[in-house]
Structure 1
């Protein structure tokens, strides 16, 4: 069974995969797998660009996204007359003939991976470049990635990577066949300084606590006074800062539903 494994840490946001998908499908008829993709409005492979944090603590995430080719695909359930089917190799295909007029398939996908072609009156999405796979080739997005951030192959061959990866919205229970490595999650960051000397403080001990799970992480401010806690899940956190010669401080309520820059935190001398 085929799978995609995408390493977000390797993605530079060059958009080559997105452009290659367009080049492969716009104006080209790959019946029985797909009719031509419109020149605008469709992104069967799309780079989702997300800015985390605020200046100067900012990280940019580039995440290639496509049809998840789910084992328990909601689009298959929503389709009439077998208009959506799963191939033996795991790729999920919308039959462009049977799917005519079935606009409900657009809303059926919780990942937003299905688009409506108004001119052809059909729903469309990534086919995994099934026409190329049939010829023993890889999807165009995989071939176009200069950093090998997107891999495609047999589940058994990529098992070691899959074991370290995660899927989007696992709570939906759809069992996606697109796996992601090194998703950044959220971060909590800031810096510490001495307001009297107006100098940064290096080596301060900073501890972040997840108030819901009880987990905690400790780091030290670097030679710029900065600290970072990365790959965090959403939740309620608290932060403790200790440094010899200074009074400890605590920030008791940090709501992490996005990345948080706490800014410059001053320590008072004892």
Structure 2
């Protein structure tokens, strides 16, 4: 069965996947796979762009999202007219000729991946470009995958991606729908800042920074760079940390730093003369 894999470490936010999907489906009628996608309001594959942290410690994350083609798809179970079905290759299709426009599937989808076309009175979503896979031997992947310049987005047989999948995550695992879209590099929280000496008016290079989980006691260590910067990445959500700086006998601690958001702490003063 087919899967999509998304490696966010090489996704550069170019939007080629989103544009390719629009190019393939807007105006074009691929019945019985799909009626034309509206030119606005629907993104059968879309890209979320989020600015994280606080200036100057900022990161931008890009996450493509699409129908999860779930093995336990609640939309299939909820559909009263059997318009939604799962193909043998794992792709979930909404038959536009059977759909009655009741909106139950869109209301049921926990991934918010089903859209409603008011003009046509039908539900619509990603088809995995099944019209290409079934009818053109030259096409082995959907348009979005074909157009991804960094190969962050891939598509193929599940067994061929076994190594990727064993270390991958789901975008919305709490839904429990057995998604067939796997991610690596999903954004995790970070704590960052710049350490400086207010007396010397210089950044502090080579200071030891120890981040401690205030609940578990787990510790992480970094060293300030030539710019006085430190970054603690891949942190758990909604945790409370204390951060200790040490250099040449001077020690300073900040407590109660929470990862409910990405924390850019800005400039942090540590007077190296205060020994």
Contact 1:183 1:231 in 2 (8 A): no
1:50-69 mapped onto 2 (5 Å cutoff): 50-69=50-69
- Report how far residue 46 of structure 1 moved: 0.3
Runs of 4+ in 1 over 4 A off after TM superposition: none
2:48, 2:114 → 1: CA distance? Answer: 15
Deviations 1:227-266 (A, max 9, x none): 00112221222211111232x2222111112210111111
Q: Does residue 171 of structure 1 match 2:174?
A: yes
- Report how far residue 124 of structure 1 moved: 0.4
Structure 1 residues 224 and 70: alpha-carbon distance in aligned structure 2, compared to 1, 3 A threshold: same
Q: Secondary structure at the match of 2:131?
A: helix
Q: Secondary structure at the match of 1:35?
A: coil
1:209, 1:110 → 2: CA distance? Answer: 35
Deviations 1:29-50 (A, max 9, x none): 1111111101111110101001
Q: 1:140 aligns with which of 143, 147, 158?
A: 143
1:1-270 mapped onto 2 (5 Å cutoff): 1-134=1-134, 135-136=136-137, 137=139, 138-234=141-237, 235-246=239-250, 248-268=251-271, 269-270=274-275
2:151, 2:226 → 1: CA distance? Answer: 34
Structure 1 residues 260 and 131: alpha-carbon distance in aligned structure 2, compared to 1, 3 A threshold: same
Deviations 1:5-57 (A, max 9, x none): 11111111111110100000011111111111011111101010011101111
Contact 2:55 2:266 in 1 (8 A): no
- Report how far residue 106 of structure 1 moved: 1.4
- Report how far residue 110 of structure 1 moved: 1.6
Across the two proteins, how many residue pairs are aligned to each other?
Answer: 269
1:212, 1:126 → 2: CA distance? Answer: 42
Which ranges in structure 1 are unaligned for 5 or more consecutive residues?
Answer: none
1:2, 1:215 → 2: CA distance? Answer: 39
Comparing 187-196 with 168-177, greater Cα deviation is found at 168-177
2:176, 2:26 → 1: CA distance? Answer: 32
Q: Secondary structure at the match of 2:9?
A: helix
Structure 1 residues 43 and 214: alpha-carbon distance in aligned structure 2, compared to 1, 3 A threshold: same
Comparing 152-161 with 75-84, greater Cα deviation is found at 75-84
TM-score (norm 2): 0.94
Comparing 224-233 with 104-113, greater Cα deviation is found at 104-113
RMSD, aligned CA: 1.2
Q: Secondary structure at the match of 1:157?
A: helix
- Report how far residue 184 of structure 1 moved: 2.5
